[in-house]
Structure 1
Amino acid sequence: MTAIIALSLFGISNLFLGFWFPRKTIQNITLLFLVLSMALTVSDWNHELLWFGNMFRTTNTSINFSLIIQLAAFFVVAFSKAFGEDDEHSHPAEYYAIMLFSVVGAILMVSFDHMIVLFVGLEILSVAMYVLTGSDKRNLRSNEAAIKYFLMGSFTTGILLFGITLVYGATRSFYISNIGTILTSTAPESMPTFLFIGVLLIIVGLLFKVSAAPFHFWTPDVYEGAPTIFTMFMSTIVKTASFAALFHLVSGIFGSLYTIWVLPVYFISMLTLVVGNISAVYQQSVKRMLAFSSISHAGYLLLTVSSKQLSTTSSILYYSLSYTLATVAAFAVLILVSEYQSARVEKPENFSSFQGLAKNNPGLALCFSISLLSLAGIPLTAGFWGKFFIFSDTFSRNIIYPVILAILMSAVGIYYYFKGIIAVYFKSGEIEKIEVPTLYKVALWACTIGTIILGIYPNLVKSVF
């Protein structure tokens, strides 16, 4: 709770600090703010508390999700390079402030104990992302992406609110604990039909945010059109917060209605796996490939969300952390390469722009390759154990066919992830030495080393979760 108050104050402070400090200093101050907020979050460990009229609850699980979200925000800020040197059109203090406010919304989504808090957190996060997606005002792709994201997001918000309304109509409460008690103590056959519709509509609203098929159509265009640094933010923080909220609902108050929602969710997870992986195979743009990759990873996470095993919580947390580290590293290298190639080739974000990267930039090539290997689920990386834990949870419920499909789609994923590795190491190209700022380099190697450590010692972190 104290982290939410602190981040809100930090965001407001950033707006004023922008008048007095240069952009590089603002970046360092924002990083300091995030470190302080993480320290405040850790201080609530093992203290389950209710806040704001029992509408907000802190638990160890919500603290873990909050830490992953804030860690992702830390890396995004570190990779922002102070948002370039364009003093006229880029305003880093405002960007950093909006990012801090969006982290507040994400933390509300992982700690809510009241349906209205879920809605408020989702809207704080969403509105911030609408603004950041269209922040490159001179880029038509950015403008188009912002409009698409806003229209689709607004429509889905209506679906979510309608679902919350139906659940309230059936239970007469917005409080998670009250709803859970009513649903557990009431026989399913005596519940009104519109309650089940409301549950499904709430799940659909959150599935949009995690880019699950068939609610994924906005993702490739929005990811491609948004400035890459905000695409990094969107693909990690938004996805983690939305999955945490979805898991909190289906494992808690909607757990007694498992038979109602489990089959639709399993069907959507399998559809998401197929659409995400097959579509990624045909992409020539690394950015669009990572967009469809994000869709496919939503499918993997949906499998374990539906499993309802004792280890499901730790599996989701581990997968979220491993996915976050690999994704921010991949996007970080993409930012550097696309900036270098922007004046040299027509499409700087394509795989062809990475050809020959290893010759003069072996460090960047290694970090990029390890991140792709982790996303592909190759052993000795964090991504391998993330998928292993998810498959184990699902298989433990004797659910065979979704696991078989997920394994087959993982094999498909190896193909398109290795396209990037082949371009980096086995294709000829002329990429000179790319100058990387010290902070950027440290953050990039931290993600890479973290991916390897989690791959070699998975229980090091999973035991904490």
Structure 2
Amino acid sequence: MNSLIVISILAIVVLYLGLFKVKSGLMPVSVLGLLLALGFSVAEWDSGASPIFSGMMLFDNFAVAFSSLCIVVTVLIFLLSKGYFERISEHLAEYYTIILFALAGCVMMVSYNNLSMLFVGLEIMSVSLYILAGIRKKDFASNEASLKYFLMGAFSTGFLLFGIALIYGASGTFDLQEIAQYVNNPENIIEPIFYVGLVLMIVGLVFKVGAAPFHFWTPDVYEGAPTLITTFMSTVVKIAGFAAFLRIFQTSFANLSAFWIPTLTTITILTLFVGNLTALYQNHFKRLLAYSSISHAGYMLFAIVSLGSASENAIFIYALAYSLASVTAFGILILVKAKTGSDAIDSFNGLSKTNPFLALALTVAMLSFAGIPATAGFIGKFYMFSTALSQAHIWLVAIAVVNAIIAMYYYFKVIIAMYFKDANSANNIKVPALYQIVLGLSLVLTILVGVYPSCLTKLF
């Protein structure tokens, strides 16, 4: 709970720093404040937390782990922001403040114990992202991204809210434990509107995590939004969305799995094929990562389709691996695009010859995305597949393996461009110190988790 308070106060402090024109202090204050919030969050580990605010919030180990991951990834994104926002706008404080408010919404989404708090957290996050996607007011692509995200987001929120209303109408409560009691009580006859509400909630949540067939906003919004905002959306927002998804299904709907598993299994398969097959045809790196994020949403849905005691750990490890690779990929994209003026895959030609460090970092990120052994991405996929196999979803794993093979083509396309094509003179990139720190840290953690996963496999 203290971490949420710190983040909320920090956002207001940063806004006042902008009011008094203290531009040089925005990034350091934001990072230090988030590190303080991270300390408060970690301190609540194994605290035996009970629901607070009349049972509406619960900061248990699940909430601590996922909120800490969201904070750490946001810190990495802020470290990459040095000089980036200055090139876009003179009003820097707004960027940091709105991102911090979005992060506060994400923390609420991973720690809710009441459906009304899920909605509040989701809306705080979503409204912040509508603004961030279109924050480059003179950029047509950014305006288009914001409008598409707003229209589709409002549409999906209507589904989610109507679903929550129907679940309340059937069970008489918003509380997750009381909904679980309603579902698990053998004397209760579950109302048909409860099932309708459950389906509508699936639609709303699937949209937020960017899974097919509700993925149409993802490529255009990711491409049109500023790259650092895209990084935040593809990592922190996705982590919070899946944590919220897993929390309610594990707590309240586990006994109705026979009803919703076929639906989610269909969505999972569709998401894998749509993401991977469409990514094959992309020639621009940012759009490739957008479709890649759709396919990774499909892999993360495994933890919910195969709901069990290992789901929390599996989704946490996968989210960590995916976030590290995404921060690395988008960070390098910022440097390459700033130098070449393009995000085409050809812009990476010969990068290994002009900047071996960037090429190495991006290679490890691509290998992690692809799930190659000795990377965190391999461990993430291994635990996802193990979770599915434990629930006898053998054919689903087989489909996922086929998709992993398809994905290798477009990930290795980037690696081939860096190592086997003639160097682009524009790729002689000077890497700022903060970028070296973030990329180096992500590189080390990706390999460390891939080689020694035992440090994370028994968190829950």
TM-score by shorter chain over 0.5: yes
Q: What is the TM-score normalised by the length of structure 2? A: 0.97
Whether the aligned pair in 2 keeps the contact of 1:51 and 1:57 (CA below 8 Å) is: yes
Whether the aligned pair in 2 keeps the contact of 1:56 and 1:113 (CA below 8 Å) is: yes
Matches within 5 A, 1:68-79: 68-79=69-80
Instruction: Report deviation, 1:436.
Output: 2.0
Instruction: Report deviation, 1:322.
Output: 0.7
Instruction: Name the CA distance, whole Å, in 1 between partners of 2:283 and 2:308.
Output: 39
Instruction: Name the CA distance, whole Å, in 1 between partners of 2:31 and 2:210.
Output: 28
Instruction: Name the CA distance, whole Å, in 2 between partners of 1:103 and 1:247.
Output: 19
1:453 aligned onto 2:427? no
Instruction: Name the CA distance, whole Å, in 2 between partners of 1:82 and 1:432.
Output: 19
| 2:12 aligned partner | 12
Q: What is the TM-score normalised by the length of structure 1? A: 0.96
Letter in 2 for 1:368: L
Give the 3-state SS of the residue equivalent to 2:86 in structure 1.
coil
Instruction: Name the CA distance, whole Å, in 2 between partners of 1:357 and 1:21.
Output: 38
Matches within 5 A, 1:369-408: 369-408=363-402
Distance 1:23 1:362, change over 3 A: farther
Matches within 5 A, 1:116-195: 116-186=116-186, 190-195=189-194
Letter in 1 for 2:367: L
Instruction: Name the CA distance, whole Å, in 1 between partners of 2:217 and 2:398.
Output: 28
Structure 1, 103-112 or 44-53: larger mean CA deviation: 44-53
Instruction: Report deviation, 1:82.
Output: 4.0
Instruction: Report deviation, 1:433.
Output: 2.8
| 1:223 aligned partner | 222
Instruction: Report deviation, 1:25.
Output: 2.3
Give the 3-state SS of the residue equivalent to 1:56 in structure 2.
coil
Whether the aligned pair in 2 keeps the contact of 1:14 and 1:93 (CA below 8 Å) is: yes
- Count of aligned residue pairs for this structure pair: 458
Whether the aligned pair in 1 keeps the contact of 2:63 and 2:111 (CA below 8 Å) is: yes
Matches within 5 A, 1:347-358: 348-358=342-352
1:433 aligned onto 2:445? no
Instruction: Name the CA distance, whole Å, in 2 between partners of 1:233 and 1:371.
Output: 17
| 1:345 aligned partner | none
Instruction: Name the CA distance, whole Å, in 1 between partners of 2:429 and 2:37.
Output: 33
Distance 1:350 1:107, change over 3 A: same
Structure 1, 452-461 or 16-25: larger mean CA deviation: 16-25
Distance 1:176 1:432, change over 3 A: closer
Distance 1:391 1:359, change over 3 A: same
Instruction: Name the CA distance, whole Å, in 2 between partners of 1:399 and 1:136.
Output: 45
1:254 aligned onto 2:249? no
Instruction: Name the CA distance, whole Å, in 2 between partners of 1:16 and 1:85.
Output: 18
Instruction: Report deviation, 1:191.
Output: 1.4
Give the 3-state SS of the residue equivalent to 2:51 in structure 1.
strand
Give the 3-state SS of the residue equivalent to 1:153 in structure 2.
helix
Give the 3-state SS of the residue equivalent to 2:294 in structure 1.
helix
1:374-406 alpha-carbon deviations (Å, 9 max, x no partner): 000001100001001111110111111111000
Instruction: Report deviation, 1:233.
Output: 0.3
| 2:278 aligned partner | 279
Letter in 1 for 2:226: P
Letter in 1 for 2:107: I
Structure 1, 21-30 or 279-288: larger mean CA deviation: 21-30
| 1:36 aligned partner | 36
| 2:211 aligned partner | 212
Instruction: Name the CA distance, whole Å, in 1 between partners of 2:217 and 2:371.
Output: 26
Instruction: Name the CA distance, whole Å, in 2 between partners of 1:91 and 1:448.
Output: 32
Instruction: Report deviation, 1:138.
Output: 1.4
Instruction: Name the CA distance, whole Å, in 1 between partners of 2:87 and 2:395.
Output: 52
Structure 1, 302-311 or 219-228: larger mean CA deviation: 302-311
1:97 aligned onto 2:97? yes
Instruction: Report deviation, 1:445.
Output: 0.8
Instruction: Name the CA distance, whole Å, in 1 between partners of 2:324 and 2:418.
Output: 20
Distance 1:439 1:270, change over 3 A: same
Give the 3-state SS of the residue equivalent to 2:58 in structure 1.
strand
- Is there any run of 5+ residues in structure 2 with no aligned partner, and where? none
| 2:267 aligned partner | 268
Whether the aligned pair in 2 keeps the contact of 1:79 and 1:440 (CA below 8 Å) is: yes
Give the 3-state SS of the residue equivalent to 1:349 in structure 2.
coil
Whether the aligned pair in 2 keeps the contact of 1:27 and 1:82 (CA below 8 Å) is: no
Instruction: Name the CA distance, whole Å, in 2 between partners of 1:132 and 1:215.
Output: 21
Matches within 5 A, 1:409-428: 409-428=403-422
Give the 3-state SS of the residue equivalent to 2:430 in structure 1.
coil
Which runs of 4 or more aligned residues in structure 1 lie more than 4 Å from their structure 2 counterparts after TM superposition?
none
Whether the aligned pair in 2 keeps the contact of 1:371 and 1:448 (CA below 8 Å) is: yes
Of all paired residues, the percent bearing the same amino acid is 43
Whether the aligned pair in 2 keeps the contact of 1:360 and 1:431 (CA below 8 Å) is: no
RMSD over equivalenced CA pairs, Å? 1.2
Instruction: Report deviation, 1:175.
Output: 0.9
Whether the aligned pair in 2 keeps the contact of 1:49 and 1:57 (CA below 8 Å) is: yes
Whether the aligned pair in 1 keeps the contact of 2:183 and 2:255 (CA below 8 Å) is: yes
Matches within 5 A, 1:284-363: 284-342=283-341, 348-363=342-357
Instruction: Name the CA distance, whole Å, in 2 between partners of 1:207 and 1:75.
Output: 26
- Is there any run of 5+ residues in structure 1 with no aligned partner, and where? 343-347
1:365 aligned onto 2:362? no
Distance 1:356 1:208, change over 3 A: same
Whether the aligned pair in 1 keeps the contact of 2:17 and 2:25 (CA below 8 Å) is: no
Letter in 2 for 1:13: V
Whether the aligned pair in 2 keeps the contact of 1:236 and 1:327 (CA below 8 Å) is: yes
Whether the aligned pair in 2 keeps the contact of 1:82 and 1:92 (CA below 8 Å) is: no
Distance 1:85 1:172, change over 3 A: closer
Distance 1:19 1:420, change over 3 A: same
Whether the aligned pair in 2 keeps the contact of 1:273 and 1:297 (CA below 8 Å) is: yes
Letter in 1 for 2:156: T
Instruction: Report deviation, 1:203.
Output: 1.4
